[in-house]
Copies of this chain bind each other. A is one copy, B any other.
Amino acid sequence: MVTSRDVARLAGVSQPTVSRALTDHPRVSEATKRKVREAARALGYSTNAIGRALSVGRSNRIGLVVADLENQFYANMIAPLHDELERLGHELVLITESAASAPLPERVAAHGLAGVVLSTTTVDSVQPARLRDRGVPFVYLNRVAPGVRADAVTVDPETGVREIVAEAVRLGHTRIGAIFGPRNTSTGELREQVVREVLDEHGLGLAQRDVLHGPFDFDTGRDGFRTLRERAGGPTLVLCGNDVVALGVLNAAAESGVPVPEHTSVVGFDDLPTSRWALVRLSTIAYDLDEVARESARLVVARLREPDAETAHIVYPTHYVARSTVSAPRT
């Protein structure tokens, strides 16, 4: 059987590029797409993922594992992921993680899913290994687990963190605090590590009293702001694990009559649509959330077509977006 490896060789491109070109990835040039399509045609390589999936008796349903559907981060990820899957001829099944439900591989089998997008993986999760052992194709979205290789789409916090820390230093902040995400997630861990490193390079540290950890949700931010404030007035700038946490902080500040940014500057991570509202104008570390979600859809569909291809880990860059929640520190 003709594989994408053969197409790659003939087209003179890498194997991941073949998958991306054939799923019409926006970052592949039109010229490359044409070259790959011609090579695929010449070799008789099928570009019809649905036909392929159905011909081997598989459904075209992809499961998305999410933790908390009311969390705006997941809500904003579902729409582009759904749309991209639909464009590729696939349907989205939502699967929430809960202690009460059956183990994931059993649910995948019971519902005849062709593949899975994992967006809630903790570093100690057994799910990736179980899915691998059962031969269920899956991709990591946003988070990864160590030890189990699979296609992944993640975000590199470094550029964005460098930009905001440089800005904070320029404005004169010396007491910076943070409400980080959970320590048992790769996103929480990586963001914390990068923040600590970059602050260190500027000769700044995080005082223990100015650092909290918690789930990536609204309550973490709301309660966290109150806790930080009780400790000697709190830091002059708070870096939040994500935008949902930052929105919790902004609302707690509004409730307590604490002016943002005059008393406390606040920075998020994700750039959700709500963060751009005139009522909010959250300064945050941004990346192309829609594209990250869409990429995971393309990866899982490419994986169904080509189970033995090399795994791809696609990393999206970040940048700092200055809006209205960061200013010079209070004096």
Question: Residues on A close to B: CB < 8 A?
Answer: 59, 61, 68-70, 72, 75-76, 78-79, 82-83, 86, 91-96, 98, 101, 111, 247, 250-252, 254-255, 273-274, 277-280
- Residue pair A255, B278 in contact (C-beta under 8 Å): yes
Identify A69's interface contact among B78, B111, B252, B277, CB under 8 A.
Answer: B78
Closest 5 CB pairs of A and B: A69-B79, A254-B278, A75-B75, A251-B278, A255-B278
With A277-B251, A279-B280 already in contact, the answer to whether A94 and B96 are too (CB < 8 A) is no
- Residue pair B101, A95 in contact (C-beta under 8 Å): no
Give complex CA distance A91, B91 in Å.
13
- Cβ-closest chain B residue relative to A79: B69
Q: Which among A79, A111, A273 has the highest number of chain B CB atoms within 10 Å?
A: A79
- Residue pair B96, A273 in contact (C-beta under 8 Å): no
Q: Which residues of B contact A92 (CB under 8 A)?
A: 93-94
Q: Which residues of B contact A278 (CB under 8 A)?
A: 251-252, 254-255
Kindly provide the distance from the CB of A318 to the nearest chain B CB, expressed in whole angstroms.
Answer: 21
With A278-B251, A279-B251 already in contact, the answer to whether A76 and B86 are too (CB < 8 A) is no
Give complex CA distance A279, B260 in Å.
11
Kindly provide the distance from the CB of A266 to the nearest chain B CB, expressed in whole angstroms.
Answer: 12
Kindly provide the distance from the CB of A195 to the nearest chain B CB, expressed in whole angstroms.
Answer: 25
Task: Using A91-B94, A255-B278 as known contacts, list a sample of 15 further A-B pairs with CB atoms less than 8 Å apart, ordered by residue number in A.
Answer: A70-B75, A70-B76, A70-B273, A72-B75, A75-B78, A82-B94, A82-B96, A83-B96, A86-B101, A91-B111, A92-B94, A93-B93, A251-B277, A254-B278, A279-B280
Q: Which residues of B contact A255 (CB under 8 A)?
A: 278
Q: Which residues of B contact A83 (CB under 8 A)?
A: 96
Give complex CA distance A2, B255 in Å.
57
- Residue pair A96, B86 in contact (C-beta under 8 Å): yes
- Residue pair A254, B279 in contact (C-beta under 8 Å): yes
Q: Which residues of B contact A94 (CB under 8 A)?
A: 78, 82, 91-94
- Residue pair B273, A250 in contact (C-beta under 8 Å): no
Give complex CA distance A69, B82 in Å.
9
Give complex CA distance A95, B101 in Å.
23
Give complex CA distance A91, B254 in Å.
39
Kindly provide the distance from the CB of A71 to the nearest chain B CB, expressed in whole angstroms.
Answer: 9
Kindly provide the distance from the CB of A273 to the nearest chain B CB, expressed in whole angstroms.
Answer: 7
Give complex CA distance A139, B274 in Å.
31
- Residue pair A61, B93 in contact (C-beta under 8 Å): yes
Could you jot down 18 A-B contacts, CB within 8 Å? A61-B93, A61-B111, A69-B75, A70-B75, A70-B76, A70-B79, A70-B273, A78-B78, A86-B101, A91-B94, A91-B95, A92-B94, A93-B94, A94-B94, A247-B277, A254-B277, A254-B279, A274-B274
Q: Which residues of B contact A247 (CB under 8 A)?
A: 277
Give complex CA distance A278, B93 in Å.
34
